[in-house]
A and B are shown apart, each in its own frame.
Chain A
């Protein structure tokens, strides 16, 4: 019987983070990119909890609550922005939004 150690959780978190990060880099749909950000946030949360369990300290789990709250607030603002972008140009692609090009 294999024992599920802290390493496993950390590895899973790293894989999730990488998926999120590469998703950010290659996708241009704003909604998908948003989901990728959530994925990365949750990967970090998983790391926090694993570390908290490993060291037997509550601090990590408290940090996770903060992250969740901030993420929820971020989703509210972010989705509102995406909706207004969609209304304006009838697509959620971010490549069109290059007004800040140097």
Chain B
């Protein structure tokens, strides 16, 4: 309980005292609160683990009995893992932020928003029902909006915040409809009850619910076609990007899908939709990351791509692998983002990678740690990314073997090979990223650049160590995470890894993909192969330029979206404004008021103010009354 509300209390406390506290006091309170929050979470998790991972539930308040709506929290394997991840990373990243946000005029605001975000995220992951999760879901969106447009004096930041909010709203709309159908079908919001009863409901209903909830997950986790907000969200402060747009918030969709996995597994349609959209996202984002020059945008596309991998895992029924990749990705992506933050800080807020290069000698610690992050995300053993990515690839392969019909089998093999391709692209663009920043000589003098301060390098080293070792929590030899999640996924048919020689072959292939990507990146950006051989001899100039153009413009998806949806919507709403608002609504209001005006003008003419006229009316009505008295009985008879 306490770790959830501690960040909220801190946020309120800092907000109320923001005029009194200077930076040091603010840092003191926020760091200690984050550390305390993590410590309590850790002990709660240990207690829970010693109790053989039996879920603990707390109901705070029973709102109504029928339908059964409560405000409650639950600690099971899934939320426990997320609890540790969120509180732990929030501490490390806040430590980094104290240095990164130093002397920013809105320093205390930043930590208020930050703590508020942590609270929202904990609310989301710890909830025991859909309703509290929805609260967390919306609050996370709000705090992310606040953090993206933190430097709101920059028009781009304000715009990016709006974009993120609006696109998330599309997803939330689907999520909300999904919740309504859930309440209508199951008469409760409680996860456990819904999952228990999901076997009694027809597959069509499950598919409908899943697809609507999926729309929410697509929005929050930046999946195709709702992903364009995430690269723009990089306008926010880099540590906030590390926490929100890499490690925690964007994984909320993945978390939610795993949470509803006992229901999700009954819908074949939903699974295929998830895997195909995940794959599409992974490929598009990886492709787009190849030719970006903004140090953070590469990481943003990489995040989208990695989220795509998690969705692929969910679609393949490998829920443990999805959470596993979520955890490892959180560590190495936070590491990469914080590393990028350190570089940006040292380069005095320069984000263009073309103006970097050769920074390795100037910033050895940052370079080394980002190197670890790059290797981890590329899937080089024994670093974290290898274990989780390999598990996803192997699961998709295993799913292909499990399929009943040949068509499905071929489809999954196709998915597997494309996923492998996305893994190769990942290694390539991450290698390029590292080489462009730290290795390639651009002839720019960087002798003034200094290593980042200790408050920045320490979190980097910590995350670096985690990025190396976190992968060992769930390997083919030691199923740690699977045991933790066992209770949550009790009735779920989890896709298991293939055994024996097949697993080794798959692992070799995935390592091969990683190395190939890195080697290609090295050949082009380190060794500069294209300058050493004459390209024109192969007539490759125009296809390469085409690929570069498509990649830097994200396959023109944003433009497509602008033309079809934004301007279409603008035209439509302009017409709506004229027809519905102008003619129907304004028209009816004007008609009513003018009708009253006209009738009152007619009737007021009878009010002459002359007593004699009133006497006449009086007499006329008297006659009418008398005639009624006289004639009514006759008529009645």
Give the B-binding residues of A (Cβ under 8 A).
21, 24-28, 33, 94-95, 97-102
Please report the C-alpha to C-alpha distance between residue A43 and residue B516 in the assembled complex, in whole angstroms. Answer: 121
Q: Contact check, A25 vs B605: say whether CB atoms are below 8 A apart.
A: no
Please report the C-alpha to C-alpha distance between residue A26 and residue B608 in the assembled complex, in whole angstroms. Answer: 15
A-B contact pairs, 15 of them (CB 8 A): A24-B612, A24-B615, A25-B615, A25-B616, A27-B612, A94-B612, A95-B610, A95-B612, A97-B609, A97-B611, A100-B609, A101-B607, A101-B608, A102-B605, A102-B608
Q: Contact check, A99 vs B609: say whether CB atoms are below 8 A apart.
A: yes
A21-B619, A25-B616, A25-B619 known; A101-B611 Cβ under 8 A? no
Q: Give the contacts of B562-613 with A (CB-CB under 8 A).
A: 603-612
Return B252 CB to nearest CB of chain A, in Å: 67
A contact residues around B603 at 8 Å (CB): 102
Return A45 CB to nearest CB of chain B, in Å: 18
Return B347 CB to nearest CB of chain A, in Å: 81
> Which residue among A24, A26, A33, A97 has the maximum number of chain B CB atoms within 10 Å of its CB?
A24
B contact residues around A100 at 8 Å (CB): 607, 609
Q: Contact check, A25 vs B604: say whether CB atoms are below 8 A apart.
A: no
| Count of chain B residues with a beta carbon within 8 Å of a chain A beta carbon | 13
A contact residues around B611 at 8 Å (CB): 33, 94, 97
Q: A21-B619, A98-B608 are in contact. List 18 more A-B contacts (CB 8 A).
A: A24-B615, A25-B615, A25-B619, A26-B612, A27-B612, A33-B611, A94-B610, A95-B610, A95-B612, A98-B609, A100-B607, A101-B609, A101-B610, A102-B604, A102-B605, A102-B606, A102-B608, A102-B609
Please report the C-alpha to C-alpha distance between residue A25 and residue B611 in the assembled complex, in whole angstroms. Answer: 8
Return A4 CB to nearest CB of chain B, in Å: 26
> Which residue among A25, A94, A97 has the maximum number of chain B CB atoms within 10 Å of its CB?
A25
Q: Contact check, B610 vs A98: say whether CB atoms are below 8 A apart.
A: yes
B contact residues around A102 at 8 Å (CB): 603-609
Return A42 CB to nearest CB of chain B, in Å: 18
A contact residues around B609 at 8 Å (CB): 97-102
> Which residue among B603, B606, B609, B619 has the maximum number of chain A CB atoms within 10 Å of its CB?
B609
Return B620 CB to nearest CB of chain A, in Å: 11
Return B117 CB to nearest CB of chain A, in Å: 65
Name which residue of chain A comes closest to B604, CB basis: A102
Please report the C-alpha to C-alpha distance between residue A95 and residue B609 in the assembled complex, in whole angstroms. Answer: 8
A contact residues around B607 at 8 Å (CB): 100-102
3 smallest beta-carbon distances between A and B, as pairs: A102-B607, A98-B609, A101-B609
Give the A-binding residues of B (Cβ under 8 A).
603-612, 615-616, 619
Name which residue of chain B comes closest to A95, CB basis: B610
Please report the C-alpha to C-alpha distance between residue A72 and residue B602 in the assembled complex, in whole angstroms. Answer: 39
B contact residues around A95 at 8 Å (CB): 610, 612
Return B607 CB to nearest CB of chain A, in Å: 3
Name which residue of chain A comes closest to B622, CB basis: A21
Please report the C-alpha to C-alpha distance between residue A100 and residue B604 in the assembled complex, in whole angstroms. Answer: 11
Please report the C-alpha to C-alpha distance between residue A24 and residue B603 in the assembled complex, in whole angstroms. Answer: 23
Return A2 CB to nearest CB of chain B, in Å: 29
Return A14 CB to nearest CB of chain B, in Å: 12
Return A30 CB to nearest CB of chain B, in Å: 9
B contact residues around A97 at 8 Å (CB): 609, 611
Q: Contact check, B606 vs A28: say whether CB atoms are below 8 A apart.
A: no
Return B361 CB to nearest CB of chain A, in Å: 95
Please report the C-alpha to C-alpha distance between residue A33 and residue B606 in the assembled complex, in whole angstroms. Answer: 21
Please report the C-alpha to C-alpha distance between residue A61 and residue B606 in the assembled complex, in whole angstroms. Answer: 39
Return A81 CB to nearest CB of chain B, in Å: 12
Return B630 CB to nearest CB of chain A, in Å: 14
Name which residue of chain A comes closest to B616, CB basis: A25
A contact residues around B605 at 8 Å (CB): 102
Return A29 CB to nearest CB of chain B, in Å: 11
Return B279 CB to nearest CB of chain A, in Å: 77
Name which residue of chain B comes closest to A22, CB basis: B619
B contact residues around A27 at 8 Å (CB): 612
Name which residue of chain A comes closest to B603, CB basis: A102
Q: Contact check, B608 vs A25: say whether CB atoms are below 8 A apart.
A: no
Return B278 CB to nearest CB of chain A, in Å: 74
Please report the C-alpha to C-alpha distance between residue A48 and residue B416 in the assembled complex, in whole angstroms. Answer: 109
Please report the C-alpha to C-alpha distance between residue A24 and residue B612 in the assembled complex, in whole angstroms. Answer: 7
Please report the C-alpha to C-alpha distance between residue A33 and residue B618 in the assembled complex, in whole angstroms. Answer: 15
Please report the C-alpha to C-alpha distance between residue A21 and residue B619 in the assembled complex, in whole angstroms. Answer: 8
Please report the C-alpha to C-alpha distance between residue A27 and residue B610 in the assembled complex, in whole angstroms. Answer: 11
B contact residues around A33 at 8 Å (CB): 611
Please report the C-alpha to C-alpha distance between residue A90 and residue B615 in the assembled complex, in whole angstroms. Answer: 24
Please report the C-alpha to C-alpha distance between residue A28 and residue B615 in the assembled complex, in whole angstroms. Answer: 12
Return A78 CB to nearest CB of chain B, in Å: 13
Return A41 CB to nearest CB of chain B, in Å: 15
A contact residues around B606 at 8 Å (CB): 102
Please report the C-alpha to C-alpha distance between residue A30 and residue B606 in the assembled complex, in whole angstroms. Answer: 22
Please report the C-alpha to C-alpha distance between residue A26 and residue B611 in the assembled complex, in whole angstroms. Answer: 10
Return B614 CB to nearest CB of chain A, in Å: 9
Q: Contact check, B610 vs A25: say whether CB atoms are below 8 A apart.
A: no
Name which residue of chain B comes closest to A33, CB basis: B611
B contact residues around A99 at 8 Å (CB): 609
Name which residue of chain A comes closest to B605, CB basis: A102
A contact residues around B615 at 8 Å (CB): 21, 24-25
Please report the C-alpha to C-alpha distance between residue A24 and residue B609 in the assembled complex, in whole angstroms. Answer: 15
Please report the C-alpha to C-alpha distance between residue A7 and residue B615 in the assembled complex, in whole angstroms. Answer: 28
B contact residues around A94 at 8 Å (CB): 610-612
Return B20 CB to nearest CB of chain A, in Å: 66
Please report the C-alpha to C-alpha distance between residue A19 and residue B604 in the assembled complex, in whole angstroms. Answer: 30
